[in-house]
């Protein structure tokens, strides 16, 4: 009896998790877990002026400069790993222990898994679920779909999701027309989109954007081939 119920629960879990991942390989998401949480936060705060901005566009309508800048800034080994960059995770852990930085070692796939299906607050449960969905995404999606999804669902400003809406909001142009400098300025806001504006960076953020452009120049063909 217990075994039968355990099997049913396992099947239900697989249906509830695997099916959405497979479908999203082909279907663009109308929303994400992070967008839903942002709407709820605005509602709880009584912010009637909040308006979430989101419009999904295909990879063909996104500048290659944005793809390269994102890979250079967030996950230079994107095409080489299978969802987890163990070296980056180890370095991030060492930095945290030594008090040098609070940066994470998450790959683009892990970030997509978190933004699509999970919640912002850190916990061991969320990290385990993030790892689970990361594996599913790497199994069922192409690398091109992962990068396309990330560019469309990441938050680039307070309530501004995806590079199309961000490009129009901050630079007055479509994502297809973004320049290398604008691309670098967009991706450097990703760790703190609510407190940084791509078109009004200063200090360390400007230095970070310059660093991203330098890293783009250092990307080898095998790290961006096909993206």
Q: Quick check: is 67 in a domain? A: yes
Any idea what the CATH number is for the domain that residue 214 is in? 1.10.3810.10
- pTM as predicted: 0.92
In percent, how much of the chain has pLDDT > 90? 67
Q: Is 30 a residue whose pLDDT tops 80?
A: yes
For residue 118, being part of any structural domain is answered with yes
Q: Which domain holds residue 49?
A: 30-223
Neighbours of 157 (CB within 10 A): 20
Residue 90 lies in a domain: yes
What is the structure's pLDDT at 48?
84
Decide if 158 is inside a domain. Answer: yes
Distance of alpha carbon 108 from alpha carbon 206, whole angstroms? 22
Whether 6 maps to a domain, the answer reads no
CA–CA distance, 192 with 205 (Å, rounded to integer): 11
Kindly state the average pLDDT of the residues 80-106: 72
Look at residue 122 and tell me if it is in a domain: yes
Is 216:72 a contact under the CB 8 Å cutoff?
Answer: yes
| pLDDT tens column, 179-188 | 999 999 999 9
How many residues are there in the chain?
A: 227
Overall number of domains in the chain: 1
Asked if residue 216 lies in contact with residue 187, where contact means CB atoms within 8 angstroms, the answer is no
Has residue 176 been placed in a domain?
Answer: yes
Q: Does 7 fall in a domain?
A: no
Other C-beta atoms closer than 10 Å to the C-beta of 152 total: 24
């Amino acid at each position: 009896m217990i075994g039968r119920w355990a099997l049913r629960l396992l099947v239900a879990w697989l249906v509830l998790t695997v099916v959405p991942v497979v479908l999203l390989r082909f279907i663009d998401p109308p929303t994400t877990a992070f967008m839903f949480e942002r709407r709820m936060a605005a509602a709880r705060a009584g912010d009637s002026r909040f308006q979430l901005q989101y419009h999904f566009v295909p990879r063909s309508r996104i500048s290659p400069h944005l793809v390269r800048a994102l890979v250079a800034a967030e996950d230079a080994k994107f095409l080489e790993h299978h969802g987890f960059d163990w070296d980056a995770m180890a370095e991030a852990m060492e930095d945290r222990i030594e008090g040098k930085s609070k940066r994470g070692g998450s790959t683009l796939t892990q970030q997509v898994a978190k933004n699509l299906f999970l919640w912002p607050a850190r916990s061991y449960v969320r990290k385990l679920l993030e790892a689970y969905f990361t594996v599913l995404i790497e199994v069922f999606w192409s690398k091109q779909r992962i990068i396309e999804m990330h560019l469309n669902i990441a938050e680039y400003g307070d309530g501004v999701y995806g590079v199309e809406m961000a490009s129009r909001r901050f630079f007055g142009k479509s994502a297809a027309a973004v320049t290398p400098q604008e691309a670098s300025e967009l991706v450097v806001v990703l760790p703190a989109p609510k407190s940084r504006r791509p078109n009004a960076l200063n200090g360390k953020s400007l230095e970070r954007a310059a660093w991203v452009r330098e890293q783009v120049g250092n990307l080898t063909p095998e790290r961006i081939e096909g993206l």
